Structure 1
Amino acid sequence: MSETKGVYLRGTGVIGWPLASLLLLLQNKFGGFQVFVEPYRLQKAEIPQILSLLEKGAKIVDDGTNGVRTFFPEWISKEDAVAKSSVLCDSSPPGIADKRKSEYSDPIYNTIRIFIAQGSEHSFGPQFLYPDSVSLLEKELPRFIHVSTCNTHTLAGILRPFYEHSPKELPSLLEEADFFVIRRDADMAKNDPHVTGPLLVLPESETGTHHGRLLNEVYRELGFQIRLGSSSITINSPYMHLIRFHLRLKREIQREWLVSKIQNDSFLSTTELVSTNSIFSSGRDRGLYGRIFSHAVFPLSALEVLGKEVRGYAATPGDSNVHISTIFAVYRGLGLSFGPETEAFLSGIVLKEV
């Protein structure tokens, strides 16, 4: 393996900025790599967030067209930064990474062992979600992967308490799962317009909306499928997605057993709050960088266990619950051990009680 130990990040928005910040925290705590950040079409209003990354130790990249040299006297060229890197994370606006995939065959990227895209870049590569699909990266390292969407992380988090060691155990207990995804419309950090009322998200396959299809894509990579359905609406809220779930099981369980399984999962959270604005606000007030980082937040007062039926809600920390998956993939690409210290540090940033 090359001695190159750099992570090259493209994009500094609601996904890229906290990802860069977390990697810089890990770099400062454990060492082992450098972090290069390439802003996407840098605007003057974005200078403070770039300065915060520079203060943490990032190296800012000018690609010749993104305007970095206009605002910053010290920068590194894209060619030099890529040459020092073995992992590339593309956190640019939706659809950009898919369009760049052919660009990544250029010889300038020969040092890159793995390209990682975020969210809805479905033609980029197989989906990855930690810890559920960790086996995908334990085999020969894929050249391209895309980290699952925030809601896919939450759907997988809803089901994770129902197996002990591997998601492949799910079919032995789970008869059927139905998910209703209540989507927030515009991220608070963006100037997108709000919808004026509930807007239907149309079904697109036998599983319903794309949410169910994406979850089964994760499981298909692991060699199995489950019976599920999903539906969705978008509402005029800027805070969090909220998922209503209804599960039918093959045997009866106790509510205490399920609550214990949720609470003992390092990447799931519980709450006594009953509104997404309150959950969001708790994360803003108490979380690192104002974020929650868990895959799902379960309001325990709404959790119903009726023998073989389970009903409840889980809120999606939409701009933060993908990052630990990405960091695991980064470590694999760098050839660094994702050992107990690293995992303990990352589980420690999760707000277990929101």
Structure 2
Amino acid sequence: IRRANDMHQEGGYIPSPQVNVHLSDQYGSHHANDAAALFKTLDMDLNMFSSAMKVNSQYMHVLWFNLRVNESTSLNEVKDKLNANKYVALTAKDMTSTVFSFGRDHGHYGRILNQTVVVEQTLNVRNGNEINGFCFTPQDGNSLLSSLSATLWFLYPHSYKDKLNFLSNLFFDHI
């Protein structure tokens, strides 16, 4: 679920939600196609499908996820794994505007650099191996951190993770 346009853009705003067509029978929108191609670089062939919709908001993208894992898990295990990932923030806030506002007030130059913000109360484990929930995508973390990581990986393939550690104090555990 994509925002219609960015805060600074004057054009491109839409008056109501707009759904997109599926460009691929296998992947749906280009998002799953891009993600599948990325995972293939890690020799992982994942069954992925996505749909896209724009909403009349300027705050953040929203992602509904449905993951099926091979081994049985519990809600507490899922939360523990998300908590252990420094690039993921958890929140009880269920509106993009309140998460965006938190970033503006507390983030480095008003930015949330985490890759995603998972809404805790939306997490659900079904049948022991299906994980569902919602997360918000801070575009700053998504584009800035990804670009910096890719650049460091290109320049320093054996030590790029160590070089990224200088950003650790800029990530949030909880929003």
With normalisation by structure 1, the TM-score equals 0.46
% same residue: 30
Higher RCO, Cα 8 Å, sep 6+ = 2
In the alignment of these two chains, the number of paired residues is: 172
Alignment pair present for 1:215 and 2:44: no
Specify the alignment match of 1:262 in structure 2: 82
Specify the alignment match of 1:300 in structure 2: 120
Specify the alignment match of 2:22 in structure 1: 203
Unaligned runs of 5+ in 2: none
User: After superposition, where does 1:192-341 map in structure 2 within 5 Å?
Assistant: 192-205=11-24, 206-306=26-126, 307-335=128-156, 337-338=159-160, 340=162
Do the aligned partners of residues 191 and 301 (structure 1) sit closer, same or farther apart at CA in structure 2, a change above 3 Å counting? same
How many Å separate the matches in 2 of 1:246 and 1:330? 31
Contact 2:115 2:145 in 1 (8 A): no
How many Å separate the matches in 2 of 1:198 and 1:335? 43
What does the per-residue CA deviation read over 1:176-229, in whole Å, with 9 as the maximum and x for residues that have no partner? xxxxxx111110022223111111111111111111001001012222211121
Kindly state the Cα deviation for residue 323 of structure 1 after the two structures are TM-superposed: 1.9
Paired amino acid for 2:130:
E
With normalisation by structure 2, the TM-score equals 0.90
Contact 1:292 1:321 in 2 (8 A): no
Query: Which is higher, the Rg of structure 1 or of structure 2?
Result: 1
Specify the alignment match of 1:98 in structure 2: none
Q: CA RMSD in A?
A: 1.8
Paired amino acid for 1:264:
A
User: After superposition, where does 1:1-354 map in structure 2 within 5 Å?
Assistant: 182-205=1-24, 206-306=26-126, 307-335=128-156, 337-338=159-160, 340=162, 342-354=163-175
SS in 1 for 2:171: coil
Kindly state the Cα deviation for residue 339 of structure 1 after the two structures are TM-superposed: 6.0
What does the per-residue CA deviation read over 1:35-71, in whole Å, with 9 as the maximum and x for residues that have no partner? xxxxxxxxxxxxxxxxxxxxxxxxxxxxxxxxxxxxx
Unaligned runs of 5+ in 1: 1-181
What does the per-residue CA deviation read over 1:270-321, in whole Å, with 9 as the maximum and x for residues that have no partner? 0010101111111111000111111110010111112222110010001332
